[in-house]
């Protein structure tokens, strides 16, 4: 049996959506300023669900829809878990790009190395936001601005800070995951990327 790797004081929020029958999932992590409580996990999960439906969804195609957000306390294998419904459809009318086409938003920290960065593969990109393989500059700006609302200690929700979770160092698993505060959010280049697991017949 695999040994559980704790990430003390951190909640993983998983944002579930759906496009053309396929599930889409993106994770964002937050570290608590103090002890994690049931009420705290619920408040954070509800806040992320609100952002998911009211801030991110309007930028995406109406072929895509939000479904729910799950918040999980990673401190122990039996940490608190809360699920919040997020029922919205994308706000841009017209056909989305194929399921696997994504805009990759990068989460940066003040530390070096690949394990100190995170990212989200954003689904449901509106057809009009892409010319050949290039994303529209206005779409990039709006998407990055949306994610920037999550960054900073207490900025998105009092008592929480967006972090990247590093689970490995030097190719070996850490005993405990390391939470590193996110200090910048950007997109590297203006090209779309592919997430093959979202193709028809696959999954997230």
Q: For the chain, what are the domain ranges? A: 10-198
Neighbours of 166 (CB within 10 A): 20
pLDDT at 196: 67
Q: Is the pLDDT of residue 105 over 70?
A: yes
- Cβ 140 vs Cβ 192: under 8 Å: no
Contacts of residue 175, Cβ cutoff 8 Å, sequence gap at least 6: 5
What letter does residue 6 receive in the DSSP assignment? -
Q: 2: pLDDT confidence band, cut at 50, 70 and 90?
A: confident
Kindly state the tokens that stand for 50: 């609100």
Give the global pTM.
0.94
pLDDT at 56: 98
Kindly state the tokens that stand for 85: 């419904």
pLDDT at 151: 98
For the chain, strand residue ranges (E) read: 10-19, 22-32, 64-73, 81-85, 101-108, 118-122, 130-131, 134-135, 160-169, 172-181, 184-186, 193-194
What letter does residue 110 receive in the DSSP assignment? S
Buried b (16+ CB within 10 A) or exposed e, 25-53: bbebbbbbeeebeeebbebbbbbbbebbb
Neighbours of 74 (CB within 10 A): 22
pLDDT at 16: 97
Task: Tell me the CA distances in angstroms from 70 to 22, 46, 81, 123, 130, one per residue in order.
Answer: 18, 9, 7, 18, 30
76-98 mean pLDDT: 95
């Amino acid at each position: 049996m695999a040994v559980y790797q704790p990430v003390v004081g951190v909640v993983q929020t998983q944002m579930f959506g759906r496009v053309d029958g396929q599930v889409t999932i993106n994770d964002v992590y937050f570290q608590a300023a103090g002890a994690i409580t049931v009420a705290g996990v619920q408040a954070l999960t509800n806040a992320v669900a609100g952002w998911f439906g009211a801030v991110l969804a309007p930028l995406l195609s109406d072929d895509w829809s939000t479904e729910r957000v799950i918040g999980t306390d990673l401190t122990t294998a039996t940490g608190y878990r809360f699920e919040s419904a997020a029922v919205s459809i994308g706000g841009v009318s017209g056909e989305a790009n194929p399921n696997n086409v994504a805009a990759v938003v990068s989460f940066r920290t003040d530390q070096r190395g690949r394990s100190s960065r995170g990212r989200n593969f954003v689904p449901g990109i509106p057809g009009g936001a892409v010319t050949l393989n290039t994303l529209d500059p206005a779409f990039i700006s709006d998407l990055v601005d949306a994610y920037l609302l999550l960054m900073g200690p207490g900025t998105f929700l009092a008592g929480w800070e967006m972090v990247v979770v590093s689970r490995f160092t030097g190719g070996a698993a850490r005993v405990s995951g390391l939470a590193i505060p996110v200090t910048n959010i950007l997109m590297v280049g203006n090209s779309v990327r592919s997430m093959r697991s979202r193709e028809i017949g696959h999954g997230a």
